[in-house]
Structure 1
Amino acid sequence: MKVLVTGATGLLGNNVVRQLVERGDEVTVLVRASSDSRPLAELPVHRVVGDVTDEESVKRAAADVDAIIHTAAHIHIGWTQWETGRRVNVEGSRNVARAARERGVRLVYVSTVDTFGVGTIDEPADETSPREGKPNCCYVATKREAEQAVQQMVAEGLDAVIVNPGFMLGPWDWKPSSGRMLLEVATRAPFATPSGGCSVCDSRDVASGILSAIERGQAGRNYILAGENIRYFELWSLMAEVTGRRPPVFRMRAVAPVIGGTAGDFWTKVSGREPTLNSALVRMSRLTHYYSSQRAIDELGYSPRPPRESITAAWQWFQQHGYVHHVADAASVADAASIGR
């Protein structure tokens, strides 16, 4: 099978590409000229230089493929990058979807669990959960809008499946993205954690679920690809255990992060630059992003592994690739805690 992958240098996209190559597929990747070359080094893939926001380059990349996997996205937990978020996540997704429709091939569109409402430990959210209320950040808002655009095109004949990953950890996190949390815990051993929680899944398992969705997914259907629902306190404690660091001591009370988020919003208004810590991030980190993957388990054969395995694999990969004493752009762990990609 000939498959086009967007976002191939990201955590999920790179795992997808590697699994496609391993099973013998012919892989085309759409990459920007400025993209990091390391994730694709020595991989037998056909590279097309372009951008999802450039419809002509998307069409060139999709010219001779049998399926498209769209993982590329602009992730920002805040509101100041709204225009960029819409251009990439909404208009870019429309470009990819149109290319798939013109080719008459299946599209697997990668969204996020956060387009659904959050759940609880006893009642995790699923694909039938409501999407009511204002999204907490522009990333969730634009991904929700992009899903609506894809579903509208499905009604017009597009063959597409939507997958909604949870908080991913695993190897091949070059940027790093969600792996920043693990690196922060390993290098700074934070005393306190956000009060919320997330559904931890392995990037390798999500990639496998996506490959399965190409052949087994029902058109127009959403599939949550999540994992174990766990508080950030327990997750960071597990990370500390795996990396040999001191575990966190307590969960942050509500008032401290709210004050920090408010201060961040004030700084945004004064300076025009939005800091990592802002009110959108605080709201996201206080929620329990708990989800059920039962539909994907039943229909796609999705099989999420325990968080310890994902943490261990990610930590070993970071050690092998020289990340242990480096934390990308000094980003806050709370940023990584919000949404992993």
Structure 2
Amino acid sequence: MSDQPITLVTGVSGFVGSAVARRLAAAGVRVRGLARASSARTNLTDFPGQIVEGDARDPQAMRRAMAGVSQLYHVAADYRIWAPDTEEIVRNNRLSTQTVMDAALDAGVARIVYTSSVATLRPDHGKPSDESRPATPEQAVGAYKRSKVVAERLVETMVRERELPAVIVNPSTPIGPRDARPTPTGRIIVEAASGRMPAFVESGLNLVHVDDVADGHIAAMAHGVIGERYVLGGQDVSLREMLACVAQIVGRKPPTVQIPRAPLFPLAWANEQLARVTGNEPFLTLDALRMAAHDMYYSSARAEAELGYRARPYRQALEDAVAWFRQAGMLA
């Protein structure tokens, strides 16, 4: 076992990183996971491999983490939609990506999968978008999306100019077990399943099981083309349909009141101002309202054709998410 090559996964305390590491370990891969000392420990319990503590922005920590590593999955990211200083999200994701990729090059890592996001792709006027529609930082709505565009373009530049052996994957909206934080979509599921969401702002999103996203990462490592990107999505669903499905799973009535976006902007502004005082992330933000203006629909056709990628029906992902939230005591 000690002679087996090491695969490093960053962000293993997080939602997607935890799923990637566990799918790799289940396939017999020797896994090393990177997590910050301050990270929540929920997803580190019974971790199937070695845990090393370190910050992806710290060059020395990354050099230590890369020792003996042959393959890298860089999943870690600042996943906040909102922060008191929104540019902090952009700085964090750019710096961590630069630091991790520099360390991987110095260590001679043979192959890398970089976890980007469909946030780096432009919407296609109600039709599913795909890899052919990359966004510029100026076209991205909100700090998180802009940060992922900046980081993805950095990886592409390093592939061209420094021969970084990286494949890019773009997950859509993962849901399922181990969403410990939870993610913004996970928060909606918790609120809806607990009966605390009587109304909604209509939008569209692409739902995918987090374990299918993890399998897509592994397929990209095995079959992806260096420098190319692959959407790892599931099914396009309206928020109304998603909320109705959650209600059916838990035996509640679905919300029926649809609220227009415009009157909510003052409330979102007030929520953000309150969050600056309390330090708690607001449930409703200005950027979230701006994003809701676009149906976030995506096609995984390329990943299906080139990687053999497949995603299960979104209802199964919602069922697994609700079951995990209930077991974790997060549902009322």
Normalising by the residue count of structure 1, what TM-score does the alignment of the two structures yield? 0.89
Superposition CA RMSD, Å: 2.1
Single out whichever of 53-62 and 30-39 deviates more from structure 2: 30-39
Task: Report the counterpart of residue 116 of structure 1 in structure 2.
Answer: 121
Query: What's the CA shift string for 1:122-171, capped at 9, x where partnerless?
Result: x2110001415432111111110001110111012110011111111111
Q: Give, in angstroms, the shift of residue 275 of structure 1.
A: 4.1
Task: Report the counterpart of residue 233 of structure 2 in structure 1.
Answer: 226
DSSP-derived class of the 1:180 partner: helix
Task: Report the counterpart of residue 69 of structure 1 in structure 2.
Answer: 73
Q: Give, in angstroms, the shift of residue 81 of structure 1.
A: 3.1
Task: Report the counterpart of residue 167 of structure 1 in structure 2.
Answer: 173
2:53 & 2:80 partners in 1: Cα distance? 24
The 8 Å contact of residues 28 and 47 in structure 1, kept in 2 or not, is answered as yes
1:210 & 1:81 partners in 2: Cα distance? 31
Q: Are positions 1:295 and 2:302 aligned together?
A: yes
Q: 1:183 aligns with which of 190, 201, 209?
A: 190
Q: 2:105 aligns with which of 94, 101, 106?
A: 101
Equivalences, count: 323
The gaps in structure 2 that reach 5 residues or longer are none
Q: Are positions 1:15 and 2:19 aligned together?
A: yes
Single out whichever of 40-49 and 15-24 deviates more from structure 2: 40-49
Query: What's the CA shift string for 1:283-338, capped at 9, x where partnerless?
Result: 1123210111101111111101111000111111222232223xxxxxxxxxxxxx
**Amino acid aligned to 2:103:** A
Q: 1:46 aligns with which of 47, 50, 53?
A: 50
**Amino acid aligned to 1:227:** G
The 8 Å contact of residues 72 and 109 in structure 2, kept in 1 or not, is answered as no
The gaps in structure 1 that reach 5 residues or longer are 326-341
1:264 & 1:290 partners in 2: Cα distance? 28
Q: 1:316 aligns with which of 318, 323, 332?
A: 323
Task: Report the counterpart of residue 194 of structure 1 in structure 2.
Answer: 201
Q: Give, in angstroms, the shift of residue 272 of structure 1.
A: 10
1:234 & 1:269 partners in 2: Cα distance? 30
The 8 Å contact of residues 171 and 313 in structure 1, kept in 2 or not, is answered as yes
1:210 & 1:110 partners in 2: Cα distance? 8
Normalising by the residue count of structure 2, what TM-score does the alignment of the two structures yield? 0.91
State the identity %.
Answer: 34
Task: Report the counterpart of residue 137 of structure 1 in structure 2.
Answer: 142
2:271 & 2:312 partners in 1: Cα distance? 37
